[in-house]
Homo-oligomer: A and B are copies of this chain.
Amino acid sequence: MPVVVTNITRVPRSLAQEFATLGVATVHEAQGRKGLLASNMRPIYRPAHIAGSAVTCEVAPGDNWMIHVAAEQCQPGDVLVVTPTSPCQDGYFGDLLATSLQSRGVLGLIINAGVRDIATLTEMKFPVWSSVVYAQGTVKETIANVNTPIVCAGAAINPGDLIVADDDGVVVVSRQEAEAVLEKARAREANEEQKRVRFENGELGLDVYSMRERLAAKGLVYIEAEPEE
């Protein structure tokens, strides 16, 4: 039988907030290129950038009942992550639910399904990453799990894990690894900043990353284009 797990352990809010300026690509790289949700998860408006603890929520296809149940489990700084138990495009979420979540301090929604009322959500500045925009309404008949481990858009997510989302998409960081990933992400940012200066000055990646020797060893050959008659 479906369960709602209460009082989950979250990433400390201060830690989550540190991620709010780190891009999804940077975080994904810092944790060894894992945890990305599929590329069809797109923000309804741009730019958007959030970082918070996941409250996970399963929903039956065409049935948004459990989002109301999950809302009660949300705290300020949370990100609600919703996945249907089979593929569905319906518009599970609109401006009323967004008003509810926003009033509770929820930072945004990640949903591998449809969202609606996006003009209003954009005005409200309540960001949503979804696989589709669709006005189709849903019923309230079937229960499912809240705050259990889920797979959302190809990524395994545990309740309390850290979610980072920006214009590039969505990445999940294991709660247990969040602190270590933060450190690596910052180191990566600092390193990239140095690289950026070199690139701005016209240096090539071939030299910045010392690639020429290894390319030659692989057998890469340079030839002149044939002259035009």
Contacts and interface: CB of A to CB of B under 8 A. Distances in A.
A72 B169 CA distance: 30
A130 B53 CA distance: 31
A9 interface: yes
A171 B86 CA distance: 13
B223 A3 contact: yes
B137 A96 contact: no
Nearest to A2: B220
Contact of A60 (B62, B71, B85): B62
B47 A221 contact: no
Nearest to A211: B68
Contacts of A61: 61-62, 88, 90
A103 interface: yes
B169 A133 contact: yes
Nearest to A121: B167
A1 B219 contact: yes
A219 B100 contact: no
Interface in A128-169: 132-137, 139-143, 147, 149, 151, 154-156, 159, 166-169
A133 B167 contact: yes
Q: Please give me the 7 A-B residue pairs with the lowest Cβ-Cβ distance, nearest first.
A: A61-B62, A68-B205, A141-B141, A39-B134, A25-B135, A100-B199, A99-B199
Interface string A1-25: 1111111110000000000000111
A192 B96 contact: yes
B215 A137 contact: no
Contact of A168 (B63, B67, B119, B221): B119
